[in-house]
Structure 1
Amino acid sequence: MIDGIEWRKANNSRTNNECVELSTNVADVTLIRDSRDPHGPRLTLRPVGLAVLVGRIKSGALDL
């Protein structure tokens, strides 16, 4: 487990914890989690992986 993770979410996210949270304060990776399950699984992505994921989401290639 990584200590000192600081999670953030969009300012306009709902108050009932239905959003994605990101942490960028861990060296060389971005962590992503579901705010509904803060102790659940997390994605750990290096910059290239994050860029690919965001690109696929923006292009509609993923059914979200």
Structure 2
Amino acid sequence: ADQHEDKEEIIDESCDLLYHLFVLWENAGVDLYDIMKKLEERDEKKGNKKVVGHLDKTF
């Protein structure tokens, strides 16, 4: 999708990827907050912490 720079195709492929990730996480007992926590931990190690405006979360 990226090679053709087709926005709709990129959206479709991203939806497929996210769907399969969520299925994997559900089967493994992992949720999005577990992933966010790990990203925060990694970011703190690198000293490159950024504040984003989504749900007042920092990661």
TM-score, normalised relative to structure 1 = 0.29
The structure in which a higher percent of residues are strand is: 1
TM-score, normalised relative to structure 2 = 0.31
Greater Cα radius of gyration, structure 1 or 2: 2
The structure in which a higher percent of residues are helix is: 2
